[in-house]
């Protein structure tokens, strides 16, 4: 019984994901004014040829800051999970 509910949920999700693709047009993005600005003026304003790097490090630098912070936090959390309280081979979670 539970399996059928899950399958029904999956089918509903598939339909919900497939219906919006009908309104999209591959190869012809709907709203491009911001990206056109980046392509036209990004090279002159920042000097970098790679527009993706310009967007990542300059125009949307806060995104990269948050991203780097997420990576730092993940490493800290993994280190906390595997931390060793004492010098011998005993782990804290055992």
Query: Shortest gap between Cβ of 85 and other proteins (angstroms)?
Result: 13
> Looking at beta carbons only, is 3 or 85 nearer to other proteins?
3
Instruction: Please report whether residue 47 would count as binding other proteins according to CB under 8 A.
Output: yes
**Cα 80 to Cα 78: distance, rounded to the nearest angstrom:** 5
> Looking at beta carbons only, is 1 or 6 nearer to other proteins?
6
Name which of 65, 37, 62 is nearest 51 in CA terms: 37
**Cα 93 to Cα 81: distance, rounded to the nearest angstrom:** 9
DSSP-derived letter for residue 87 is S
Instruction: Please report whether residue 70 would count as binding other proteins according to CB under 8 A.
Output: yes
**Cα 54 to Cα 40: distance, rounded to the nearest angstrom:** 12
Binding site for other proteins (CB under 8 A): 3, 6, 9-10, 13-14, 17-18, 21-22, 24-29, 32, 34-35, 38-58, 60-65, 67-75, 77-79, 81-82, 84, 89, 91, 93-94
């Amino acid at each position: 019984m539970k399996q059928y509910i899950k399958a029904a949920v999956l089918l509903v999700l598939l339909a919900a994901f497939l219906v919006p693709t009908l309104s999209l047009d591959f190869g012809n993005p709907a709203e491009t004014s911001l990206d056109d600005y980046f392509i036209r003026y990004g090279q002159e304003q920042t000097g970098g040829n790679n527009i993706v790097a310009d967007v990542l490090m300059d125009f949307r630098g806060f995104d990269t800051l948050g991203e780097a912070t997420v990576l730092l936090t993940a490493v800290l959390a993994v280190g906390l999970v595997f931390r060793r309280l004492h010098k011998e081979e005993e782990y804290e979670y055992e």
